[in-house]
Every structure is written in structure tokens, then in C-alpha cells.
Structure 1
Amino acid sequence: MVPPGGYGWWYIDALSDDGAHGLTIIAFVGSVFSPYYARARARAPAGAADPMAHCAINVALYGPGVDAWVFTEYGASEVERRPEQLQVGGSSLTWEGDCLVVRFDERTAVLGQRVAGTVRLYPSAFPDRPEPIDAHGRHTWFPAAPHAHVVAELTAPALTLRGTGYHDANFGDEPLEAGFVEWSWSRAALSDRTVVLYDAHRCDGSQLQLGRVFHADGRVEPLAAAHAMKLGRTRWWIARSTRTDGAPATVIRTLEDTPFYARTQVATRVGEVPVRAVHESLSLSRFCSPLVQTMLPFRIRRVS
């Protein structure tokens, strides 16, 4: 249950085995990046706006001939939640046995281009280790299936993708910007494990520095990765950084570049093994700026 003014999101990403294509899918209840939800919280007593009135599906495709980006927000009448399924508009996330099946059929905000397909995520194991990421227990990260294989069959645009996959979820009892100023996150997959790094600057001045190794057999180990590495700023001047165990880290390509958020493909090593990591940088202070709030509706399609 997502409390009034809070949020929940379910995140899936995949990189093709050849490194050419990537996809990211996020389903939101209480869309943290919605200017409409932000306005509703500002009007509601104590910020207690209804998160079910602001649910969303975000689909991003990357690679030659298939770049596409969709963010559609729906009202409560278009949303259905069951223990094994979340249905938002024309898209759904459903557990079918041990496979997470994502079906989406959405349109872009400006030109109305169709983006549709089916993604199947096959987890190696289910660690079942929710972790608080703030000092007060108001924000929780749940790495549901951090080591996985993905098969994606898209019809619009036409694409078949097979590769490494990742699935997690985040939940908050308050807006994301109430707990954090900025954060960075990354995941890198090897054949037998996935490495995740989580770093955040919290609003109370404290720092989150978390590293985990998720083995394919379900074991979970801490990871220090003590060497800080700068990855350079984006065109919107968003700072990007990561941590490693001493290996270099370089940007392969910037997948998404916005005034408050960047997604990047990074080349690095885990031990002696070369890996491609999915990396994100988020500035909540940028997100809250009046200029960015004015720009956001042009990227979001709202369906009441």
C-alpha cells in the first residue's frame, strides 16, 4: 500500500548481449517525477495527495534504429493492482510463475508514436532483502531480481533483445525530494553475479554509500568499491560519478540526458572481468526547480 503523498516504483532494465541495444521500463504508483503529482501534493493538507491518481508507465529504448521514449500518466480509474499484477493503462507487469512478464502498448507525448512489446525477465534467484536507504525508514530499496536474463519481443519499433536483466523496486512514505538531494546508482552484470552501487546525498546532510554483490545462487555480499571515479558532466551539466575497486570507469554513451536525470552506459571492470554497467544520476534539487517543473508536461502524456 502506497501512503498518501508517497510513491512506489518497479524498475526493469536490460542490455543486449552484443551491447547494441538497451531498454528500461518503470511503473509508478505515485509518480515521483510527475509535475501533476507535485501540484496535487502542494494543494493537499500535509501533502497527502492520492498516489493512485498519479500512476505512470515509462518505457525507454536505446540503440540503432529504435530510440524511443514514453512517459504516460494515468488516473486511478486506469489502474488495477493485484498481488501478482500491476495494470496501468494499456501496460502491465505480471508474475507468471518465476517469470516477470511486462506488456506495454503506449504512445509518445508529442508525435503519438506507438511503442509496444512484451518483455520476459527470468531471475536467477530472489534475494528478498529490502533495505532502508534513509535514516528514518521512510524510503526503501528492494532488489527483487538483481541477476536475471531478459528476452524482449517488440512490435513497435521492431526489435528482439536478449541479454542481461535487472529488476528492483523503491517505496517511500514521503516524496523522494523530501529525503534526498541527489543520488547515483549503477548495476553491472557478470555471468554469475550482479554488482550494485548506490550513493546518495540525503536532505539531512548524511550520506548513503551502499554496495552489494548479488550472486546467481541467491547469496548476497557487501561490496566496498572504495575508489571514487568521476564520469564527467552531461550536456545539462549533471555531475556523474561512480565507485570501483580500483578499475577505471569510462562513459560508453549517454542514453538519457535531461535537466535533472541522466542514464549512462559505463565500461569498467569487476575484478579482472570487463563489464558494461547501467548508471543513473539524479538531481532532486534540479527536479524541484520552477523551470524544470514548467518543462516536464511537454514530455509526459496525461490520460485521466
Structure 2
Amino acid sequence: MSRLTRTADGPYAPPAPARELTVVSADGARLHVETHGPEGAPAIVLSHGWTCSTAFWAAQIRALAADHRVIAYDQRGHGRSPASAACGTEALADDLEAVLEAVLAPGEQAVIGGHSMGGMTVLAAAGRPSLSTRAAAVLLCSTGGSRLVASATLFPLPPGRARTWLTRRVLGSRAPLGPVTPVARAILKYGTMGPGSAPHMVDACARVVHACPRTVRHAWSRVLDRLDLDERVPALDVPVEIVVGTADRLTPPAHARALAARLPRCTGLTELPGVGHMTPVEAPDLVTSTLRALATAHLPARAAVPAVPAEPALPAEEDA
């Protein structure tokens, strides 16, 4: 799991959860789950992307937890969820199903937000009974269903073998990222964020990404390289909003447009000028307001009760 480095304060400092729990997935993998906000409030479940953690959603959690129950979980191997030998889209779908069944009351639905690999998690689970009955609506941020490596624009080369080969070597590198230095921030900004991203946004993303163990980063890069979820897209038969940045080098807008064309109930596609891949951090207000609007439109108002005090944090584990 990750060695987490938390920002001291500001909108991207992860807030203390009201409750922490461990959810066991279908194959026995243990997932770290946090809940924020009042019990009984409309539920929003957040699934983060490759190399990230629950900390990635800090801005959305802070804004929504006043009147929503926000549930965020660490993908296996990320954050405080231990790594597992099983890496693949079926495992991602199993994990999301396990979280939904563990945190939602019988018959309760939630709005589900997924960023990057978190969005792919939702696509992988499309058509499964748990997602069909538990998801009232979905927000997909900066994601795609297939051909991720071939379509990435990290290198200023025309599409083809050379660009795909270089992209695969960079994304699948086993090299340690090391400390968050000015050079590391500049590299991360170029690859994952828009050119106008503020320094505090870049720093927040760098701290999260650099905390991901290189073995986990490499293992899941291979899954993303082979990703093919196109056949699952039509099975996501719930209202879906899509957000993408026009400067996204990892999942360019063509992916979002392809999803919008194939989803049965796409209710909107928003392309954000100059924004890169890290939309929840780069455009926090837009992502937050979209989640809130989906909850208002598709979830019944519930009688909220005060949040319970946070449980003691589990001790951090060292990387393998």
C-alpha cells in the first residue's frame, strides 16, 4: 500500500473521516473505506484512478460532506488498501460491488463518481446486478474504455508504433518516482495536468501519485495497457454525466465522446478548455457541482443524523 504524504492544510488536505472500515472483496482482498458526512444523507461513492488514493477526492469530500454521505475507498494496492495478486478489470468491479454492498443500506442507491481507472471500474461493473440496483447515476471523469496507450498524447508524435512504444515504456516503468522535487512536479504537470494548473494543484497531485508503490504502479499499468471495456459501455443503463479536459494527454477527449455516443442514457458531456487529466483537482468546483446535481436529481432526500466520530486510523504498512 502507499506511504501517504498529506498536505498540511488547504482544499486538498484530506479531511478526517467520520468512520473508517475495511471491506473484504470477493477474492478476500481488503479495501480501506472512509465515510464522511452525516449518516442517512444522500450517498455519493467515489472511486479514484491509477496511482491515486482517497486523498485525491479531498476537495469534493470537503464540499459535499456537509449535506451528503460521501464514501471513498482505496483501490487495491493504493492508499491504505493492501496490494493483491489479482489485478484486472474483474477485480476492480468486484471491489466496487463489495463497497456498495457494505456501505449502503438495503434498497439504498448512490451517485457514483469515477476518475480515470475509477471510471473504468464503473464500466467494468456495468451490467452487474449490484451496480444496476445501487447506482442512481454516474459521473465519469477523464476516462475511457479501450486503446488507452495508443491514443495517449504524452509525446508530440503522430499516432503509430513509435508513439505507442514510447508511451508504454513510460507508463509501465518500474523506476521509483522518488521525492516530490521541482523537476518531479514539472514532469507530472506536463503528463497529467493542464498548462494553467496552479502550483498548489500540482503539488497535491504529486504527493498522491508519488505515494503509490512502484510495484503497484507497474502492475496496474499493464491492466490499463490491455484494457478493452467497449462492450460493457451499453450496459451502463443509468444517467451518466461525463467530464474531460481538452488538454488531457492520458485520456484525450475522443474517449469521452466515444463513451457519450454509446451510453444509453448520457445526460451531458462537458469538455473543459485547457484542463488536463486530473479534473477533480484542476476543476474541483465543476466536478463537485456535477456530483451534487446528480444527487439532487436522482436520489431521494433522506433524514440525516449527525456523523459518528472518526474511528482510530489503522497503522500504516510498509511497502513490500
TM over 0.5: no
Q: What's the TM-score, normalizing by structure 1?
A: 0.30
Structure with higher RCO (Cα < 8 A, 6+ apart): 2
Normalized per residue, which structure has more strand? 1
